[in-house]
Amino acid sequence: MVSAPVGAQYHNRLPRVHYLNDARHPPGSVAASQIARGAPGVGRYQPVSIRGPEGLQVALAQDGHFLPLLDAPVTTGMLVGAVYRFQVASIPYRPGIELFPTVEIIDHVHAPASRAHRFPIPIELTREDLELALNGALITRVIYLEDNDVADPFGRGPASADRP
């Protein structure tokens, strides 16, 4: 009989979370830790594209006020290490109802030099997301970036014999 290491039987029952950063922290806590540790890219602008169903409108905030509504998709620049709030209106099948999502930009896309505007972070507000939020659900989404098909390749040092 082969026995599993002590604690292995409980491994699959443990929550799969990152204990330093998780969805229970308030908006801005991850970005604040990025700023505190001097993470590369903090303080630069990252293009962001907010998209949604046909007819959706988005208003960005400036100086504590919302700008006029624009038809989605809306592309803007957001500072890495900052938290942004925007207004969502003209939600399909929900006339007159608005939402106010929060976005925390914690890193940037490593786009080819001078072409960052061509690689915005895609924030897709699906109809399902909108309905869940309108019914009181908290929607948390983490967007991982870097498309290997379009990223500029660069070396990370000499090749090792033990790597494939």
Q: Is 128 within the bounds of a domain?
A: yes
Q: Is 152 within the bounds of a domain?
A: no
Which domain range does residue 56 map to?
22-134
Mean pLDDT of the chain: 78
Tally the residues of the chain.
164
Q: Is 68 within the bounds of a domain?
A: yes
Mean pLDDT confidence for 92-114: 84
pLDDT confidence tier of residue 100, bands split at 50, 70 and 90: very high
pLDDT value at position 145? 62
* CATH number for the domain that contains residue 50: 2.60.40
Q: Is 145 within the bounds of a domain?
A: no
162's CB contacts (< 8 A; 6+ apart) are none
Q: Is 162 within the bounds of a domain?
A: no
- Of 63, 91, 59, the residue nearest 76 (C-alpha): 59
pLDDT tens-digit readout, 148-159: 566 566 666 665
pLDDT confidence tier of residue 76, bands split at 50, 70 and 90: very high
Q: What phi, psi does 35 have (nearest 5°)?
A: -65, -45
Strands 57-62 and 70-71: antiparallel
pLDDT tens-digit readout, 18-69: 556 666 677 777 777 777 777 667 778 889 999 999 999 999 999 989 999 9
Mean pLDDT confidence for 131-157: 72
Which residues are registered as beta bridge partners of 46? 78
Higher local confidence (pLDDT), 6 or 156: 156
Q: Is 151 within the bounds of a domain?
A: no
Q: Is 90 within the bounds of a domain?
A: yes
Q: Is 149 within the bounds of a domain?
A: no
Count the domains in the chain.
1
